Amino acid sequence: MIVTKSRYEIELMREAGKVVAACHAALADFIKPGVTTAQIDQFVESFLLRHRMEPAQKGYKGYPFATCTSVNDVVCHGFPGSYRLKDGDIITVDMVALHKGLHADSAWSYAVGEISPEACHLLQVTERALYIGIEQAVIGNHISDIGHAIQTYVEAEGLSVVRDFIGHGIGRRMHESPEVLHYGPPHKGPRIRKGMVFTIEPMVNIGTYEVTIDDDGWTARTADGSLSTQYEHTIAVTDNGPEILTRL
């Protein structure tokens, strides 16, 4: 069942979303060559706590950290640690804030120093793919119209969409119905209704869309070692179209 959210619940998710967005904006300056992924995790955790929000990923299904820090070929769920970022790396930082019982979830990719033209294209296409998906999040469309638009655009750019991780409804729980695929046919499954809140979070690879999971049980990598990026917003469906909650 898809639980729609009240105005008050959306207001709380907007408050959480603004803190998440402010944290990402601050990360854009913080992330540079020489910084470790553990320092990024610490930065995010203290930022959220300082704004009286809980880092909801920590302890979620046993996940040990406040953030996922996914470098280069890591698709998602990378563990923060002693890895020191170097010039030319790309990194996705994923975080979820819990505020008065409601969640806001956003992941963003960052270039570290000077990156290759291929990496730059990957970042640009993935960010654009997110917004192309968001445009489809209007009352009366099908949820699957989002993924169809994303896949069509990404593949036209010669890149591939990860299948194994998807967007999701969000609210009092981090993961709720509906499932939001980033690929597939249009006009299928549930219709989009007012008050739905869900994430759109395409992961895009330069090579194959297939992923493998490390022995830690979490870290997902591209099967061919190619680069991967991700951009994610939490959005609410309103009479005036999609509202991005994880935005300043």
Out of 9, 89, 176, 201, point to the residue binding ligand MF3 (CB under 6 A).
201
Question: Which residue lies nearer to ligand MF3 by CB, 45 or 201?
Answer: 201
Strands 74-76 and 160-161: unpaired
Strands 160-161 and 203-205: antiparallel
Shortest distance, CB of residue 126 to ligand MF3, whole angstroms?
14
Sequence-ordered list of residues with C-beta below 8 angstroms from that of 124, at least 6 positions apart, any chain: none
Please say whether the beta carbons of 12 and 170 come within 8 A. no
Shortest distance, CB of residue 170 to ligand MF3, whole angstroms?
8
Site string for ligand MF3, 96-115 (x = CB under 6 A): x--------x----------
Shortest distance, CB of residue 96 to ligand MF3, whole angstroms?
5
Question: Which residue lies nearer to Co ion by CB, 73 or 232?
Answer: 232
Question: Which residue lies nearer to Co ion by CB, 105 or 176?
Answer: 105
> What is the rounded distance in angstroms from the CA atom of residue 40 to the CA atom of residue 71?
12
Query: Which of 124, 98, 118, 113 has the alpha carbon at shortest distance from 234?
Result: 98
> What is the rounded distance in angstroms from the CA atom of residue 246 to the CA atom of residue 14?
7
Sequence-ordered list of residues with C-beta below 8 angstroms from that of 11, at least 6 positions apart, any chain: none
Shortest distance, CB of residue 57 to ligand MF3, whole angstroms?
3
Q: Is 131 in the site for ligand MF3 (CB under 6 A)?
A: no
Shortest distance, CB of residue 59 to ligand MF3, whole angstroms?
9
**Which of Co ion, ligand MF3, none does residue 14 bind (CB under 5 to 8 Å by kind)?**
none
Query: Which of 120, 229, 101, 80 has the alpha carbon at shortest distance from 165?
Result: 229
Q: Is 89 in the site for ligand MF3 (CB under 6 A)?
A: no
Dihedral, 30, 79, 52, 46 alpha carbons, nearest 10:
-40
Sequence-ordered list of residues with C-beta below 8 angstroms from that of 120, at least 6 positions apart, any chain: 111
Shortest distance, CB of residue 61 to ligand MF3, whole angstroms?
5
Q: Is 68 in the site for ligand MF3 (CB under 6 A)?
A: yes
**Which of Co ion, ligand MF3, none does residue 176 bind (CB under 5 to 8 Å by kind)?**
none
Question: Which residue lies nearer to Co ion by CB, 9 or 94?
Answer: 94
Please say whether the beta carbons of 79 and 41 come within 8 A. no
Give the interface with Co ion as residue ranges (CB under 5 A).
94, 105, 107, 232
Site string for ligand MF3, 23-62 (x = CB under 6 A): ----------------------------------x--xx-
The dihedrals phi and psi of 116, each to the nearest 5 degrees, come to: -70, 160
Interface with ligand MF3 (CB under 6 A): 57, 60-61, 63, 68, 77, 94, 96, 105, 168, 199, 201, 232
